[in-house]
């Protein structure tokens, strides 16, 4: 039923990826799809090729259209769209995970240099942020735990992002009622950092002799920790702190942009999802994050055509976390002092 999978000029407009990226994604999942082969057929009774199946799944994830609409587009039934998409998600989980991993020491050097280039923050290893995937739930499943502070039912995604907007660590599956700080503290990333197994690389010495360890940057919804630097709260703060906050904001903006790009590219996680299976949804979110990274890793030109936005949680107010660690307080002051010393008089 599809000539699309073999029509390069149509691939970009229909799937939002270049032919090269489409072929790479196909090569990743082909064996798994073959191993679980079942004869999916179109409405004309002809069997769907593996490329057709990848095309259907990518269209469903990238457009966010209903099973019926995607089915009409490809002349297949809604149940085939559903089964094919889920099979693709399973194959991507199995074959694509190497596209989402924590950087090795060599990669981290490059990441730190790129973060420093943004607005001067030294030894920064990532930017952290969260976003809500909004759901419409049947009344049977609509328990308060999924009800967030903005009165939506939602699932939260926490992501740590590098300067290229690549996801380096994600956590999802948690209900919308969970705060950013609570989600962080429940994450494997938090436990690794607290045990000294992550963000445990080079400590740098600043010109005046103080030392700064590796850290990530996040907004005031997160706790201030030795390895997580948040901005100074309040408006009545010194010029030096205002300057630090500006630089901090510009640096952590990459995480907001990455989440906005994720939702713009993979529209299944944008807007309101109609009665999703809450056990399958985290796996769909993960696969959208893998696809997001693959587009960056493939240097796909498609990404250059997307608007650069940082709005990914429209209508959600800023959370505020009062928790802070004393040694982290000192580290933030050291960074602030260092950055203000570099200012012109």
Q: Last residue of a domain, which of 36, 67, 95?
A: 95
Task: Give the span between the Cα atoms of 276 and 266, in whole angstroms.
Answer: 16
The verdict on residue 284 lying in a domain is no
User: Is there a single domain that holds both residue 110 and residue 90?
Assistant: no
Last residue of a domain, one of 35, 61, 95: 95
User: Would you say residue 283 lies in a domain?
Assistant: no
Lowest mean pLDDT of 60-69, 154-163, 321-330, name the range: 321-330
316: phi then psi, degrees, rounded to nearest 5: -95, 125
Query: Is residue 57 domain-resident?
Result: yes
User: What domain range includes position 48?
Assistant: 4-95
Whether 137 and 272 map to the same domain: the answer is yes
Give dist(CA 339, CA 156) in Å, integer: 34
Q: What is the pLDDT of residue 1?
A: 44
In a domain, 260, yes or no: yes
Same domain, 113 and 11: no
Q: Are residues 173 and 54 both part of a single domain?
A: no
Average pLDDT over residues 58-72: 95
- The rounded distance, in Å, linking the Cα atoms of 90 and 283 is 8
pLDDT confidence of residue 153: 93
State the average pLDDT over residues 260-284. 93
Q: Are residues 60 and 84 in the same domain?
A: yes
- Domain-ending residue, one of 95, 129, 145: 95
CB atoms within 10 A of CB 193: 21
Q: Are residues 112 and 238 both part of a single domain?
A: yes
Those residues whose C-beta lies under 8 Å from the C-beta of residue 314, and which sit 6 or more positions away, are: none
What is residue 345's predicted lDDT score, i.e. its pLDDT?
A: 40
| Percent of the chain whose pLDDT exceeds 70 | 94
Q: Which two tokens stand for residue 83?
A: 């089964």
Please check whether residue 270 lies inside any domain of the structure: yes
Q: Does residue 212 carry a pLDDT above 90?
A: yes
Residue that is written with structure tokens 């959208």 in the block: 288
CB 170 within 8 A of CB 303: no
**Angle subtended at Cα 303 by Cα 298 and Cα 306, rounded to the nearest 5 degrees:** 175
d(CA 23, CA 94): 17
pLDDT tens for 243-266 read 999 999 999 999 999 999 999 999
- The answer on 137 and 69 residing in a single domain is no
Residues 65 and 19 in one domain: yes
Q: What is the mean pLDDT of residues 230-247?
A: 94
Same domain, 62 and 140: no
Is the pLDDT assigned to residue 235 strictly greater than 90?
Answer: no
- Please write down the HEC assignment for all residues of the chain: CCCHHHCHHHHHHHHCCCHHHHHHHHHHHHHHHHHCCCCCECCCCCECCHHHHHHHHHHHHHHCCCHHHHHHHHCCCHHHHHHHHHHHHHHHHHHCHHHCCCCCHHHHHHHHHHHHHHHCCCCEEEEEEEEEEEEECCCCCCCHHHECCCCCEEEEEEEEECCCCCEEEEEEEEECCCCHHHHHHHCHHHHHHHCCCCCCCCCEECCCCCEECCEEECCCCCCEECCEECCCCCCCCCHHHHHHHHHHHHHHHHHHHHHHHHHHHCHHHCCEEECCCCCCHHHHHHHHHHHHHHHHHCCCHHHHHCCCCCCCCCCCCCCCCCCECHHHHHHHHHHHHHHHHCCCC
**Distance between CA atoms of residues 130 and 185, nearest Å:** 13
End-to-end CA distance of the chain, in Å?
69
User: Who wins on pLDDT, 190 or 323?
Assistant: 190
**Rounded Cα gap, residues 309 and 262, in angstroms:** 11
Q: Considering the domain boundaries, does residue 238 fall inside one?
A: yes
Chain-centroid distance of CA 246 in Å reads: 23
On the question of pLDDT at 3 being above 70, the answer is no
Q: Within this chain, do residues 160 and 62 fall inside the same structural domain, yes or no? A: no
Answer yes or no: do 124 and 181 share one domain: yes
Question: Considering its fold, how many domains does the chain have in total?
Answer: 2
Q: Residue 45 class from Cβ within 10 Å (0-12 exposed, 13-18 middle, 19+ buried)? A: exposed
User: Do residue 121 and residue 256 come from a single domain?
Assistant: yes
Cα 53 from Cα 289, distance rounded (Å): 20
Q: Is residue 290 part of a domain?
A: no
What sign for the dihedral angle of Cα 312, 314, 315, 317?
positive
Q: Is the pLDDT of residue 344 over 90?
A: no
Ranking 43-57, 80-94, 307-321 by mean pLDDT, the lowest is: 307-321
Q: Quick one: pLDDT at residue 8?
A: 54
Per the domain annotation, does 179 fall within a domain? yes
- pLDDT for position 231: 96
The mean pLDDT of the chain is: 91
- For strands 228-229 and 215-217, give the pairing: parallel
């Amino acid at each position: 039923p599809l000539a699309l999978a073999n029509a390069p000029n149509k691939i970009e407009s229909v799937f939002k990826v270049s032919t090269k990226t489409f072929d790479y994604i196909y090569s990743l999942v082909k064996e798994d799809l073959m191993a679980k082969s079942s004869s999916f057929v179109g409405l004309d009774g002809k069997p769907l090729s593996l490329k057709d199946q990848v095309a259907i799944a990518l269209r469903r994830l990238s457009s966010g259209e209903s099973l019926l609409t995607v089915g009409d587009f490809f002349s297949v039934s809604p149940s085939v769209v559903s089964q094919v998409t889920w099979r693709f998600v399973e194959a991507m989980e199995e074959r694509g995970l190497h596209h989402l991993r924590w950087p090795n020491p060599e990669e981290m050097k490059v990441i730190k240099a790129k973060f420093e280039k943004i607005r001067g923050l030294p030894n920064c290893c990532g930017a952290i942020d969260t976003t809500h995937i909004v759901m419409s739930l049947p009344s049977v499943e609509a328990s308060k735990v999924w009800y967030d502070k903005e009165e939506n039912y939602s699932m939260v995604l926490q992501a740590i992002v590098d300067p290229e907007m690549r996801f380096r660590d994600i956590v999802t599956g948690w209900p919308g009622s969970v705060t950013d700080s609570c989600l962080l503290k429940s994450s494997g990333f938090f436990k690794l950092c607290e045990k000294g197994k992550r963000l445990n690389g080079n400590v740098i010495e600043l010109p005046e002799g103080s030392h700064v360890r590796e850290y990530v940057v996040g907004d005031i919804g997160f706790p201030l920790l030795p390895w997580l630097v948040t901005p100074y709260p309040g408006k009545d703060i010194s010029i030096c702190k205002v300057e630090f906050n500006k630089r901090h904001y510009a640096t952590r903006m990459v995480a907001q942009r990455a989440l906005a790009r994720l939702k713009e590219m993979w529209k299944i996680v944008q807007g309101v999802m109609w009665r999703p299976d809450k056990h399958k949804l985290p796996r769909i979110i993960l696969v959208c994050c893998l696809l997001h990274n693959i587009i960056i890793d493939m240097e796909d030109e498609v990404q250059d055509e997307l608007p650069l936005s940082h709005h990914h949680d429209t209508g959600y107010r800023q959370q505020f976390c009062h928790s802070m660690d004393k040694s982290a307080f000192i580290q933030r002051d050291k960074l602030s002092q260092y950055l203000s010393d570099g200012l012109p008089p």
